Each structure stands twice: as C-alpha cells, then as structure tokens.
Chain A
Amino acid sequence: MKILVVDDEKDVRALFEQRFRKEIRDGEMDFAFAYSGEEALGYLNSLNHEAVLILSDINMPGMSGLELLKQIKTHFEKPPPTVMMITAFGDDENYQHAMRLGADDFLTKPLNFTHLREKLKTVK
C-alpha cells in the first residue's frame, strides 16, 4: 500500500521509515514523503493519484494540511484517496473543520505508532 506522509519536519521521514521498518521490509507498506502541501499535490498529480492513503500534518507553512485535504477531496479522481490528518493542535475546531472537509481520520501528536499501524492495516 502506498502511503504519502506530508509534514514540514524533515525528520519525520527517518521516524516513519524506522517505525514501519518491518512493514517496509516485508513490502506491506510503501512510504513517500512530501514536506509541504504543494509538494504533496505535485506528487499526487505526477503519479496519477497513485497514493491510496495520505497522512498529513495540518500546521505547515504555505498550503496547510486542511487546504491540501480540501484540494484532494474536491479535485481528485473518484474515489479520492483516504486522508488522515495529524496535528499537534488536537482541538475540536480543527477536528470539525477537517471532518467537514472530508477527512477520513484525525490523529493528534504525539502519534501512537502502534495505534497508527493498526489503523493503516484496517484501511488496507
């Protein structure tokens, strides 16, 4: 399963690759990383909307995660990919906003990777 992780923190890549090293090794999951909303959209467009699951941070400079979510849910081919939002600000307003825009899930930082692994497996 192709998963696109969108976060402006570059170390997220190392974190995900190590946390899911087993799944990557076994070929269960395939991660791609984008460091901004714009980069994520570019990635999705260039790969013909290949990713089936997108994990996106909300607070990013430039295009925010919510804007990215809106773009994906309104402009992408049907069915649009699953989008899970991640944020350090796990307040209700952010949550409602993300859900209104069609987010499939809403996770707060710090991420519980055991939990996330389960979620990703069920999506599959």
Chain B
Amino acid sequence: MLKTFSWSQMVFLTRNFLFKRVLFISLFLFQIIFPSLLHAQNGTVQNTENKYRAHHWGVEDGLSQGTVYDMIKDQNGFLWIGTQHGLNRFDGSSFKKYLADKTGKNKTIRGNTINGLIEDSLHNIWIGTDKGLSRYDIKADTFTHFASADPRQSSIPFWATKDEVFYWDYPESQLAAYNIHTFSKRQLAKIATADSVGFGVSDHYPVFDKGSNSIWLERGFGNPGGGLFQISLTTGEKKEYTWPCFKKIPNHGHGSEGMRYDRRRNSIWINNADGLLEFMLKDKQIHHVDALKDFEKLKDFWLWAGIDIDAQGRIWEGTSKGMIVYNPADQSVHLLFSNDSVLQKNVTEANVLIYCDRDGMVWSGTWSSKGIYQVIPFSQALTHYVSNPKQPHSLSTDFVFNCSDGGRGGIWMSTDNGINIFDEQTGLIQGILKKDLQCSNGEGKGIAIACIDTTSQKAWVNAQDLFKMDLATRQCIPVIFKDINGKRIPLLTGGFPTPYQKTCILTTNYGGLQEIFIVNPDSTVAEQILSFPDGTLDFFKTATDDHFIFLRQPDSTVNLTYSLIGRKWIRIPNPLDSIPWTKIIFNKADQTYWLATEKTLNHYNKNFSLIQVYSQQDGLPELAICGMIPDKNNNLWFNTESSIHQLDIISGRVTMLSEKDGFQKQNFTSMLNFGKSASGDLYLPGGVFGTGFNRINPSWYVKTTSAVYLQSLLVNEKPVLLPTGINNLKELPLSYSENMITIETGILDFYSGGNNHIRYKLGEKADWQYPLNSARYTIHYEDLAPGNYTLVMQASNASNEFIGPEKILLIRISPPWWQTGWARLLFGLAFVFVLWNFIQYRSRSLKQRNAELEEKVMHRTMELKHSLEDLRATQTQLIQREKMASLGELTAGIAHEIQNPLNFVNNFSDINSELIDEMKQEIKSGNLEEGLHVADIVKENNLKINNHGKRADSIVKGMLLHSRQNAGQFELTNVNVLADEYLRLSYHGLRAKDKSFNATILTDFDPTIEKISIVPQDIGRVLLNLFNNAFYAVAEKKKIISESLPAAASGEMGYEPTISASTKKMDDLVEIRIKDNGMGIPNKLLDKIFQPFFTTKPTGEGTGLGLSLSYEIITKGHGGTIEVDTKEKEFTEFIIRIPQINHSTKQPNADLT
C-alpha cells in the first residue's frame, strides 16, 4: 500500500511559527510533511494492561469514613457505601452522608456501623447496622427500622429472594428472614458456637442454594482445615465440607475470607488462604484454580477478602499483589495496573470488598480507612506521547509534524531532528538521525517522510532533495524531476504530496508556475503532468482518491477536478467544484467522500450525491475542521486548531475528546493530518504549537451518559411535604400562590468526576437554559402563572455533551378559586342580578333628578358669570408671573453683565487718577510732550469708562422694561440689536446656573434690516423665552450624552451644543430664526407646545406659559406668525415672521399682553 504525505513550502507557515521553531525552519528549508490517510489492515491484540483506570475516593472527597464494609448500586444509579461510621450515597462526584439520628426520624439510619447492604426484589435497600436492621425505601426516600431484641448487636443482610431478605440475627444466634411485603420475621436456622461460622467479614457472604433449599456458610479461621458449612432450611441438618490443604503448610489456617455464588456455573467461588477455589454445588467437588499458581509462588502473596463476579463471568479478587481478574472461560489471569506499581498495590491494599456493579465498574473497599477505589473498565482512548530525555526510547524531540505507518507495527514520525520510529506494541521509540541515513549531504537535521509504500517497504523522504528510501536497509536513491517534454529539471524542492493509486502526486512551484508531478513507485523519476499560472491553486488543500485529483482554487467557487483519461490528464467537471471546501478525504472502506467547509461537514457517496450535511446542530465545533480520518468502523475523526472530535456515523452525533479520554489541551496547526496504523490506531502529531504526538485507539472511545436527579425542592422558599421521595417525584401540584420554586439537582455520573453541567427548560419546545457556574445545580422559577408546566432537565456527560436521558417533572399550578369555571359562572349571575336591580333603581330616580337638574342649571349660569371675571384677573397675574419667572432666570446673567462693565469703570477710573498724578508730575518737570501723551491715555480711558457705563445702563433699562406690567408701546426698533442683547442675557443666565456649560453661538444678522415697528419688550420676551428654551434643550442633551457615556467617550462623541440666531429681511416682513441642536420636540407633543401651561420641564421649573405667551405676542400683538421645525433628538428651530407695518405709537391689540 502506498502512503504519501503532503509537503508545503515553509514560507506559508513561518509567520505562525513559534520562535524556538524558527531556527529549525531556517535549517529545514523546504518541506514540512503531512501524513495522509491509510486504511487499516488486520487488527492486533490490544494490550490489556491499559484497559482499566482507577480513581480513589476518600474522606477528603466527602466519604463519611474510610473503612468500607459493603457497597451496592441502587436502581436509580446511586452507589451506596456502608462504612464503619455512616452510610453514604454517591453520585459519582459527591457523597450524601447518612448518620444515625437518635430522634428516630425516618430520614436516616439508626446505627452508624454498616455491616451489609442488600437490594430486595422491590429495589429497596436493606441495611445491616450495629443497631439492627433498617430498610431504605427507594421511592419514598425514607428509612424503616426493624427492632432487634438486643439493639447493641449487629444484624447483617446477605441474601434476597423474591419475597424475603435473609440476614444474620446475632442477638438470637440465628439466621432469619424478613418478608419484604408484610415485614413478618421468621427463623431460618439456629447457629451454635460450635458451628464456627459468622466470623468477621465472611458474614457478608452466605449463599442461599435454591436447589437444595440450604444456606452455605464459610467456616471461620479458627476452624482447622476451613471449609464450607451447609444448613438445610428444610430439615435443619448441618453438614461440613472441607478441602485438602493445597499449600501443604502445617497448621495452616485455611479459613476463607470471602465467597460468591456463580449462577452460570452453579458454583461458589472462594477466596481462601489456599488460593482461589471453586466449589461445584452439583457434585460438591472443590477445585483449586491452578492458573494463579505463578502468583502463589510469590513471597508475601495472599488473597484479601474481596471477591466478586462481573457480568462476563470473570472472577475479580483482591490480592496482596493487586487486583486479579480470572476468566474461567479461558483460564486467563490478568493482574491490573502492572504498569503502575503504586496504583497496583493501593487498589487492593487491605481490601475488604470487591463489588462489580451492573455498569461494568468495579469497586474496591478497604479495611484501612483509605476509602474506596473505583476501577473503570476502559482506558483512555487517547495517549499523549512527549519526549522525556531521562527515558531511553522516548521521542527525541517534542516537535513532531507527521506520523505515518511504516508497516510491521512501526509508525514513522518526522521531527525536527530526524525520524523516530514508534513501536505500536511496546510503545518504544527508535530514533534515526539524518547523519545515519545516506540521504543527501544537505544542511539541516530535518528529514521528512513524504510517502511510504508499506507493501514494498519503500519510502520517499525529503532531506533537502527528494529520495527514495528502502525502509529496511535505509538505502537512498535521489528522485529526478522531468518536465512535460521529458527534459530534466534542476532540483525541485518545495512540494505538496498526495497519494494517487500507487503513485505520489507532487504539487510544486517551478519557473513561476504551479506544477504538478507524479512519481511512480517503481521509478525514481517525477514526471510533470499539469501546469497552472502562479497563484491558481491552494496546494495545501490538494486532495486525491483513486480516480481524481481535486485542486482548490483559493477564494474561488470554481475548483478543478482532474482525472487520467487514457494517457492524458483531463479536467472533469465535478459537483464538488462549486463548493468552497477546505478539505476532502475519501474513505475507501465505505466508498464515501467527506468534505469539510468553513461551517459544515458534508458526506457524499461515490457518485458525489449528498448523503448528509452535518452542522453545529449535530455537535460540529465552531472552529474549522483541519484534519480528517475515518476509523475502522467508518466513524470520522477530525481535529480543529484546539480539539479532536469523533463523528459517530450511526448516531450522527459529533463528540469531543476530553480529559477523561486522555486529551490534554493543545493547539494544532491547520495543516496537520492524521496517520493511521494497520491496527486501526490513529496518530495526530502536535506540530508546531503542540508537543509530541497523540495516539488514539478508536475502539476504546466510550461515550458515557449521565442523569439528572433531584436533591431538594423549595416552594416559596420553604420545604414542602411530598407524597414520595424527591427524586421519585413526577408531578408537583401547587396552588396559585405557591409559584416560587427552587429545585436543587444533582448529576449521576461516574465518569466525569463532577465536571459536568445541567440544562433545563420549562416546556418541551422552550429553549434550554444553562445555570450559572455559581449555582450550577439550581433551577429557580418565580411568579409562575397558573397552568401546567413540563420541566425538562438533562445533564451533560464527561465530554460535556447532552446525550443522557431527560428527567421530567410536571408542575401543575392551579388557578385561584375565583378564576375557576364555576366561580366565573357565579360572578356572571351575580352581575346580571345587580344590573337588573340597578336599571330598576335608575329609571325611578331619573325623573326626580331631571327636575333637580333644571334648577341647578339656573344656579350654575349665575356662578359662571362671576367665574369669568375672576378668571380674567387670574390670567393677568399669571402673565406677570411668567414675566418675573423669565426675569428670575436672568438675574444672574444680568448681574454678570453689569459686573463686568462696572469692573472696567472702577479700574479705569482708578488708573485715570494715577495717570493724572503722573501727568501732573510730568508737567511740573516740564516734560510737556510726555504729559500730553498721558493725557491722551486718560481721555481714552475716560471713553472706555463712558462706554462701559452705558453698557450697564442699557442692561438695567432692558431689565426694567422687561418686567413692566403694563403693555408697552410700539417703537421703531433694531431687531438685530434686540436679538443680540437677549441672546447674551440668556446665555449668561444659564452660565450662571451651570458653570461648566458652554455652547457655540452663531449669529447671522441681516444688516439691511431697517428699524421696524414693534413693542420691544414684548418681542424681547419672546426672544428671551426662545433662547432660554434653546439653551435648556442643548444643556439637557449634553447632560444625557455625558451620563450615558464615560467622560472620555462623551468628549469623543463631539457633541457641540450650538445655538444660532439669524434675521433676514423679506419683502414686507422680517424673519427671525432661532435654532438649537438640542433634544428636539417629539412629534406627539408638537400640537401642545403653544398651549398654555404645557411644559416638559420638571415640575416647578417652568410655568408652561412662555411659548403660549410668545404665540399671543407674535400673532395677535404683531400680526405675525411663529412656526416650529424640529426633529426629535436633533434640532428645534423657531421661525418668527413679523410684518413691517407702521403702527405709529399705539398699543398692540393683543388681549393678553
């Protein structure tokens, strides 16, 4: 079989390489090599040593005590662990402790020393304690206690029949039975001291033989010769069975420690000082298992008490050398964990019990307070190999960039310092340095395996030049490149190889073109077959099968597929050409194509018909697929930049390898690829970003499931009385007021060690909810409306995939009584009755009321006349209040405006006095010229004093004018001056209130406007009102922006509060526009802004009269118009148009001014 590898020019990768790799890259100039896919041949025998792993659980993990006498897995999946102090319920990661409680409540055990656990046919658990027998009801989650004549003594259950539980009744010196339905007790057999049974841990092990209706017990240590003791339940007859001393040691005790009944073989397996014995019930013959004889020869070898039979009929026993598995079917013996001497010893040290649960897991309990060992019956699918300089035969370097099968159980690794050959059987590595090969004399240490033909044991290797190498002799012959005309081309180095039938296709750059060559396995010449302009192809993605070469055009949806027709390579249009794929592989075994795109994984049959598209819904990772390879069962394995996944071809689910599978977090480059050995193991090199390589045994990959269970339930934050055990709860009926529910869940999962999560949803069709990590097991609902709810819960498994069973709880919240059907009917009837009465009453009283009304109308008319007069007076007051309010806002502004000129007046008059003194001095000294100069300055200053005085004067006048209560007179006024003055007043007014406030003020006054006839204080008031509003709007907007953004960002937002005022002369009217870029006015409020008392300012800040008065002044007072143009959150513009009419000096005709 031919195997090839892809090469690429380093330049594509250099950018991504870590610095430490750069040195290597510069030396290893030309190629990096990628393994291609290979198909498995015959499987090899797996090394059984790796098929198990073990995990220790102790007091530090929450176990109540470390000396474990018995364990049993219940129907729900919990493991019950009986210790010397307390009973434990274990869910795979956490322990729930049950300790004796003297109050006698039924929520826990009565005695703390747990001697035995037995599950009856109803799946309830019988618990033997030092205070008698108890029974745990698995559905109700309660304990029932059975009185013992002497509660200080133990009772130990050891057997369950369909209707009874058999147990040691020590106080009565008998074997007894409880009926599990009626709880009636009966004696099975009386035990005498002379019987020498009932010693220590062997109490767990009596066996009931249904065939002979007898019980088999172990003889104690004290009995010479040991043996079995049979008590017939029919006759009460007792009989001893002994066996010879197999070890032939004088005075040897021969007492047995543990035994188990084998249903398939109808025999009893006995763990004994003489070794492992099998007692056949049919012929009462005893057999010694000789298969263990190699162990028996060892010094300090003995058997501990633990013995059990697994589902496959294998016998597990705890020995001083470790855990031994004996398979009676083939007489094979395995010692577990032979690679790990510490674990090997610990797992059965002071072993008191071995328990094979129904899930294939094996549990070992210890005498020495060390807790339990969990033996998990499969090993991790992935093994990560890294270099270890201390260990001979390990990787020579951590930089491995391809792994390829060299046949004969050897995987050839290309690394940055030569080739490493990995022996699949032994796990040992043999390194070949470049200098040991006869390939090239080029520089650099790197050798890249390009192709291996396992049949002929030939490989192509690239060590600067391309060579053909004999795998056995390591002889190298250079490969020659020839162009399309058969002319020899000087050395070609860069290239990307892919297999094609028996040949190797090489894509490379030469002469400014992208060229494709083919190398035959029986030749040392690479012949050119195709040629493309530079940049046409993405060489890294070139893919092949036995018929086609798939060439990917970068950034294009037109890809090129070629096939050999006769002797020519012809482009054959292919359905895949239009798909922007990133990777294609062909699985020869099932004749299908796998095609990866950025987001999907597509599966095609050999005719390129689509079989299935897999997406993230099927578990596909978000990251793009890098390498792909099918395993022996046609499941697809692939990696991304940081993970390895398996697509199960049968379930269609994609799962991800996690720590439980041996996966360690690592990064892969996108161009790495898998290799596959003949045995079916997959190899993924770590590449530049990873270390070493990963070996995956696909058959060891186990997808475990987990299940949600319920721990506690709170309704309205209080525990509720449930008719059954919380975990058995299927339906939760609640009343309308009990609508706050808190459910504490747990996860049953013996594989993940607690690294999993739950998800839940209320209603089958709802979206899943994932609790926060801080409350990862808690489900909480509040204010649930009356109705029926289906709470669905699910737990993720060790790979964090939700593939386990869904747990369902129906929550029924009944409506309050007044919302029920009959209550509604009652309400309806009551309403009809009341209505009928009301109508009766109304018709009687209406006539009477009519007369009363007539009288009232008369009275009200009189009152209204008075009210109208009052209202007029009030209106006048309100208008004055508005005037004063706007004035109030101005006071600070005015003060500032006056303060500044006054300062100048004071300063310049001070200076003038000084200057006059100076002037006098000069005159006295005869410096007349200097005196005159000073006099000029004095005069100038005086002018300034005058100007500033006038400035202050005009401000005060304006203020008085504004506040005057009676109506003003029409005067010829300069609108530009008026607008400017009020703009300043308004601005300073606001500035006085908000010191940080700033605004850009733009004015555009039309100088051609002549004085027009207006009432200046009225128009001034309008302008002031509009300016105040404008400033308020921009200030608000600035505040909102700065509150919603951090200071720095709000600055960057570049909101520049801007107010503009402009005037314009138009034919026979003057237009004044006042615009701000503030909050704008919402459309729905536009109709209201001119209404009296409408304001958007907070209560107390505005009178709501400003705009309505302005409207009156402009329209009624001056016969003009006032319009508003606005866009919410952007701007507001008021447009005032006043006609140029000479009113001479008359009063305006507005009623309201």
Contacts and interface: CB of A to CB of B under 8 A. Distances in A.
B944 A88 contact: no
A23 to B, nearest CB: 14
Interface string A100-116: 00000000011101000
A74 B984 CA distance: 31
What interface size band does chain B fall in? 20 to 34
A15 B907 contact: yes
Interface string B43-64: 0000000000000000000000
Contact of A61 (B900, B987, B995): B987
A5 to B, nearest CB: 14
Interface of B: 896, 899-900, 902-904, 906-908, 911, 915, 937, 940-941, 944, 948, 987-988, 991-992, 995-996, 998-1001
B718 to A, nearest CB: 53
A115 B906 CA distance: 16
Contacts of A88: 896, 899-900, 903
Nearest to B898: A88
A94 interface: yes
13 contacts: A9-B904, A15-B904, A15-B908, A15-B911, A18-B915, A18-B937, A61-B998, A88-B900, A89-B992, A97-B995, A109-B899, A110-B899, A111-B903
Nearest to B903: A110
Q: What are the nearest 5 A-B pairs in CB distance?
A: A110-B903, A18-B911, A64-B998, A88-B899, A94-B995
Contacts of A15: 904, 907-908, 911
A114 to B, nearest CB: 10
A19 B996 contact: no
Interface string A44-88: 000000000000001101111011000000000000000000001
A32 to B, nearest CB: 20
Contacts of A67: 998
Contacts of B908: 14-15
A67 B988 CA distance: 17
B556 to A, nearest CB: 51
B998 A19 contact: no
Given A9-B904, A64-B998, A110-B903, A59 B896 contact: yes
Given A61-B999, A64-B995, 6 more contacts: A15-B904, A15-B911, A89-B896, A97-B996, A109-B899, A111-B903
Provide the main secondary structure of the chain B interface.
helix
Interface in A2-45: 9, 11, 14-15, 18-19
B995 A14 contact: no
Given A14-B941, A88-B900, A62 B906 contact: no
Given A9-B900, A61-B1001, A19 B907 contact: yes
Contacts of B996: 64, 66, 97
Contacts of B991: 59
A54 B1022 CA distance: 40
Nearest to A113: B907
Interface residues of A, number: 24
Contacts of B941: 14, 18
A93 interface: yes
A19 B937 CA distance: 13
A59 B988 contact: yes
A9 B896 CA distance: 12
Contact of A58 (B904, B915, B995): B995
Contacts of A111: 903, 907
Q: Which of B900, B908, B937 has the most CB of A within 10 A?
A: B900
B983 to A, nearest CB: 11
Contact of A63 (B907, B915, B998): B998
Nearest to B904: A11
Contacts of A19: 907, 911
Nearest to A7: B900
Nearest to A91: B995
A61 B904 CA distance: 19
A109 B898 CA distance: 12
B895 to A, nearest CB: 8
B813 to A, nearest CB: 57
B28 to A, nearest CB: 52
A109 B906 CA distance: 11
A19 to B, nearest CB: 7
Contacts of A58: 995
A14 B903 contact: no
A14 B907 CA distance: 10
A92 to B, nearest CB: 11
Contacts of A18: 911, 915, 937, 941
A62 B1000 contact: yes
Given A9-B900, A14-B941, A89-B992, A110 B907 contact: yes
Nearest to A58: B995
Contacts of B902: 110
A58 B904 CA distance: 17
Given A66-B995, A67-B998, A14 B944 contact: yes
A88 B899 CA distance: 8
Q: Which of A11, A66, A110, A111 has the most CB of B within 10 A?
A: A11
Contacts of B998: 61-64, 67
A6 B414 CA distance: 76
Nearest to A94: B995
Contact of B944 (A11, A61, A63, A97): A11
Contacts of A9: 900, 904
Given A14-B944, A18-B911, A89 B900 contact: no
A118 to B, nearest CB: 17
A88 B997 CA distance: 15
A94 B892 CA distance: 15
B723 to A, nearest CB: 68
A67 B999 CA distance: 12
A9 B998 CA distance: 17
A84 B1040 CA distance: 31
Q: Which of A58, A62, A63, A88 has the most CB of B within 10 A?
A: A88
A96 to B, nearest CB: 10
A38 to B, nearest CB: 11
Contacts of B899: 88, 109-110
A114 B987 CA distance: 32
B906 A110 contact: yes
B1073 to A, nearest CB: 20
A64 B988 CA distance: 13
Q: Which of A15, A19, A97, A111 has the most CB of B within 10 A?
A: A15
Nearest to B1000: A62
A91 B988 CA distance: 15
A42 to B, nearest CB: 17
A12 to B, nearest CB: 9
A93 B941 CA distance: 35
A14 B936 CA distance: 13
Nearest to B912: A18
Contacts of B1001: 61
Contacts of A66: 995-996
A123 B884 CA distance: 47
B964 to A, nearest CB: 27
A5 B812 CA distance: 79
Nearest to B899: A88
Nearest to B992: A89
A99 to B, nearest CB: 13
A94 B896 CA distance: 15
Nearest to B948: A11
A57 to B, nearest CB: 10
Contacts of A97: 995-996
Nearest to A66: B996
A89 B998 CA distance: 15
A61 to B, nearest CB: 6
A6 B1084 CA distance: 46
Contacts of A64: 995-996, 998
Contacts of B948: 11
A110 B904 CA distance: 9
Contacts of A62: 998, 1000
A9 B904 CA distance: 10
A67 B904 CA distance: 25
